[in-house]
Amino acid sequence: MTPAGLVVGQEVARATLHVDRARLVRYAHASGDQNPIHQDESAALAVGLPGVIAHGMWTMGAAVQVVVDWVGDPGLVVGYGTRFTRPVPVPADGEATPLVVATVGALDADEGTARIDLDVTLDGSRVLGKAQVVVHLP
């Protein structure tokens, strides 16, 4: 029997994230990350970016929330790691809308855990690579 009746490859959650420039300003204040590439178009363009980009840690945190919502308790997340593969450009007007799809990547019945793999994309391009969340299943 697998933990919670899950099977490898099963999609367990899916969500579209929403980030606009006002959210980036609030995140910058909360995190202390005032790097101008997250708020100033000219600064972002000057370093070769396509424009203002979301903080990588914001993207990582927002993506794992999909799993937290699915499992129902943030305390059940026992591990999380990812690679930042592409920036998330945030337009001056409107918002960026990355898509997060969470699937079961591996199960450990002895430990009662599942590895949930996140596919995080923006306009079909992956923005996080090897995003894996280990959750303890009650």
Domain residue ranges of the chain, discontinuous segments joined by +: 3-19+54-136
Is it the case that residue 129 has pLDDT exceeding 80? yes
9-42: per-residue pLDDT in tens? 999 999 999 999 999 999 999 999 999 999 999 9
86-103: per-residue pLDDT in tens? 999 999 999 999 999 999
Task: Check if the beta carbon of residue 82 is closer than 8 Å to that of residue 118.
Answer: yes
Tokens of 58: 């914001």
Q: Looking at residue 1, what is its pLDDT?
A: 39
Return the CATH number of 3-19+54-136, one of 3.10.129.10, 3.90.1170.50, 3.50.50.60, 3.30.420.40. Answer: 3.10.129.10
Q: Looking at residue 138, what is its pLDDT?
A: 78
What's the order of all strands across the beta sheet hosting 113-122? 11-16, 99-108, 113-122, 125-136, 77-84
